[in-house]
Chains A and B, each alone.
Chain A
Amino acid sequence: MKKLFLFISIILFTFACGDDDPITEVFPNEDSFSRAEMLEFWADEIIIPAYTNYISDLDILKESSTAFFTDPSEPNFNTFRDSYILAYTSWQQVSMFEIGKAEEIGLRNFTNIYPTNVDLIESNINNQNFDLALPSNFVAQGFPALDYLLFGKGDDDEVIVQALTSANVTTYVEALIDRLNDLSTEVLDDWNGGFRDEFVSNDGSSATASTDKLVNDFLFYYERFLRAAKVGIPAGVFSGNTEPDRVEGLFSDIYSKLFFEAGFSSAQDFFNGISFIDGREGVSLKQYLEEIQLTNNSDFDIAASINDNWQSAELVLIDINANFRNQVLEDNAEMLALYDELQKAVVSLKVDMLQALNIQVDFVDADGD
């Protein structure tokens, strides 16, 4: 009986040992794919550099707005607008990484919810009594609100400049730009603080492990914000009626394709492990899938199939108008064709990739059996 208890205690003790057991370091697993290396590459070569770049573009936006409000000349106005487009484009390269601090503060909700609510913006400006931290103000801030203020607040540039320089509008625009800066800086500071190490070391395979979480975030972005918001919704996929006024960058008009391309190529780069810094290829989901294909001795190259779908989407994209709104109004069939190609990749991503990598799609860490 005593022996039995001793035996049981040994077993219990063995299983009670934490994950940080030093033994794993003594026997590193050399030939298997390392999730930790992939996480490191994502953090150091993609996410942190992309945020750094985005914030530096926001700084430029801030400077050019200050220059404009000090001297509302035509060239200053154009520089202001250009730097706005630049920052909005850089945003597309970080939008998918809604994890950690970004997830906690809801960065995307405060940055890029469209269509923006013009009436709410005007009432905020008139009241001068607004709280941008309120969820009800998601639709009255971020880039879509700036888009309206910089491009939609009048029929020609002169009227817009006039409007912008009225004290209340100036205050509002400055508040919007500061908020973009503050929130994204908070996120980057967190990455540069402790979160980077926390992210990289959480290299397990549970639903709460970094790989599973970020892949889920990536898929959520791809399906909802890239495929649906930028293309599907304006093309009427989810309502049966075309909704041309729901394109991204409605007022700046000719940049909707640019924004989509920035997001789409960032998504592809993330999947293929293309460094944001120097474009070199690193550890990626693509490599991970190839490794699994080898292990399984399978002839189905999931990564290639996904990239093929994206290539077809790129081909459709060539003929699409820089202004998605016009494209929807003039020839929506092309827009639907783009959507279909984006949709094909969803099946490979959400079914074949998740099956191969054994990534859980739910965030509820509930029991199984």
Chain B
Amino acid sequence: MSQAIQSYFNKQSKAAPLAVFRVLFGLLMVFSMIRFWYYGWIEKLYLLPNFHFHYYGFDWVQVPGKWTYVLFFICGLSALFFAIGYKYRLSILIFFLSFTYIELMDKTTYLNHYYFVSLMAFILLWLPAHRHFSVDAFLNKNIRLEFIPKWNIDALRLMISIVYLSAGLAKLNSDWMYKALPLSFWLREKTDLPIIGQFMDERWLHYLFSWGGAFYDLFIVFFLLWSRTRVSAFIAVLMFHLLTKALFPIGMFPYLMIAASLLFFRDTFHTRALKMISSIIRIPYETFCNGAKSMSNTFISRAALIVLPVFFIIQLLLPLRSHLYTGNLFWTEQGYRFSWRVMLMEKTGYANFKVVDSVTGKRFYIQNEDFLTAFQQKQMSTQPDFILEYSHFLGDHFKSQGHENVQVFVESYASLNGRKSQPFIDSTIDLLTVENGFKQKSFIIPLEND
């Protein structure tokens, strides 16, 4: 057994796939940053709001005012640097830190694919992705490698597999499979699309997409791994992601996943691609083909063998943590994030906060738009941890204004996947008496007709 493990970790593979992924991932990230800036989202999502929602334990991550632009610039520049493989270790580290910092600034903007970017960057941090087809390797022939340990590429593949499989398993719920919800809500609004638009309010299409999506997520990795089905699986990847791109506002994610699925292709595909690029930029690709193998003897490559296994154990466990809580997961959202649950629900909410003086009984209501942007209000009104954090913010705000004996209550309603709206948070509980944290949120009223 240990011998088998030993020999697996000694197995070598061409370095080309890792280099190709590094370049594509980096360039996509450069483009993402420019796009985010160009659309004015830095302003709208980070500078405009007066209050930001924080991940538990990350209150210290603050939006640095106008410096946020510098932060995005650094993030984009470091992506460009690691794409071309210049000062790789430093640039991927800076990218990982700056990108993750940006994501931690406000959980209102949480998206699974941003989380995916952070994780991929974290894995790349430990891999010698700069030792082939990079500026670093071009300048320093001592670090050039033609081969790297095969597990380097498998690590990235494993991450992609966890994403797909978790997403697929999450789709195996009754709303998705038996009612084609919430997909049918979204699809029937798309009748104005060319060609496929005419079918968009057909029931069979909603079921086809729901079941097809679940099947795709559950099995695509296996079809990509098996060489006989790889090309057709890649065509499926293309179709699936371009279709989702056409149907939903999901930004750069489809391109990222298409690029990532190339990691499943043979070495020859990647070496050929690199040869082509080399001839375009007039650098002899042979420079990098020195026959050198990785000795895995650097500090980082040895540390990687400890860090990455721990990382993957955490990754396997995180999506399962929702089972530690009772109640409908979509309703309570306890353990919902960081678990590859995508497109699973359409949730609308409304939260009306009441500030009460517990001694005099004097009370008044809050106009949320005085404190939150429309986007923040939308996210807040459907997620209990947001509601709790906001109520504490309101408590602090009114205490600092000289109000005494402050209590904060919320009258809130939410609707999940087309169900009739129902009370969401227990309106009799003073939310200031509830601590934020990972404990079961007993202030949520259970979902009826689950």
Contact = CB atoms under 8 A, between A and B. Distances in A.
Contacts of A205: 189-190, 192
Contacts of A290: none
B437 interface: no
Interface in A316-368: 343, 346-348, 350-352, 354-356, 358, 360-368
B245 A366 contact: no
Interface string A214-249: 001000000010001000100011111000000000
A186 B229 CA distance: 63
Contact of A27 (B41, B198, B365): B198
A15, A228, A365: residue with the most chain B Cβ atoms closer than 10 Å: A15
Contacts of B191: 24, 29, 32
B421 A355 contact: yes
Interface string A57-79: 00000000000000000000000
B64 to A, nearest CB: 20
Interface in B348-384: 348-350, 352, 357, 362-367, 369, 373-375, 377-378
A355 B348 contact: yes
Contact of B421 (A11, A23, A348, A363): A348
A7 B231 CA distance: 12
A352 B420 contact: yes
Contacts of A362: 373-375, 377-378
A17 interface: yes
A369 B112 contact: yes
Max chain B C-beta neighbours (<10 A), residue from A216, A224, A352, A364: A364
Interface string A292-315: 000110101000000000000000
Contacts of A228: 367
Interface string A1-25: 0001001100110110111010110
A19 B235 contact: no
B87 interface: no
B250 A368 contact: yes
B350 A346 contact: yes
Contacts of A300: 420
Given A368-B249, A369-B342, A351 B421 contact: yes
Contact of A366 (B41, B193, B194, B363): B41
Given A296-B418, A361-B374, A203 B250 contact: no
A206 interface: yes
Interface string B239-281: 1001101101111110000000000000000000000000000
Contacts of A14: 194-195
A154 interface: no
Contacts of A206: 249
Interface string A23-41: 1100101001000000000
A364 B194 contact: no
B212 interface: no
B374 A350 contact: no
A8 B231 CA distance: 12
A238 B366 contact: yes
A4 B350 contact: no
B195 A21 contact: yes
B206 to A, nearest CB: 11
A36 to B, nearest CB: 9
B293 interface: no
A119 to B, nearest CB: 25
Interface string B86-120: 00000000000000000000000101110000000
B122 interface: no
B186 interface: yes
A15 B189 contact: no
Interface in B33-61: 39, 41, 44-45
B249 A32 contact: no
Most buried by B among A4, A23, A369: A369
Residue among B342, B363, B377, B415 with max Cβ neighbours from chain A (10 Å): B415
Contacts of B159: none
A347 B421 contact: yes
A17 B194 contact: yes
Give the one of B245, B253, B363, B365 with max A CB within 10 A. B365
A355 B190 CA distance: 16
Contacts of B404: none
A123 B210 CA distance: 66
B304 interface: no
B253 A29 contact: no
Contacts of B245: 15
A204 interface: yes
B155 to A, nearest CB: 23
Contacts of B363: 240
B45 A15 contact: no
Contact of B346 (A11, A18, A355): A355
Contact of B348 (A216, A237, A354, A363): A354
B413 interface: yes
B188 interface: yes
Contact of B413 (A4, A298, A351): A351
Given A24-B193, A367-B251, 4 more contacts: A24-B194, A224-B369, A348-B421, A367-B252
26 contacts: A8-B235, A11-B238, A11-B239, A11-B242, A14-B194, A15-B242, A24-B191, A24-B197, A29-B191, A32-B191, A205-B190, A237-B364, A240-B362, A240-B364, A295-B188, A346-B352, A347-B413, A351-B349, A352-B348, A355-B348, A362-B373, A364-B374, A367-B249, A368-B249, A369-B111, A369-B253
Q: Which 8 A-B pairs have the closest CB atoms?
A: A367-B251, A21-B194, A205-B189, A240-B364, A362-B375, A355-B348, A351-B421, A355-B415
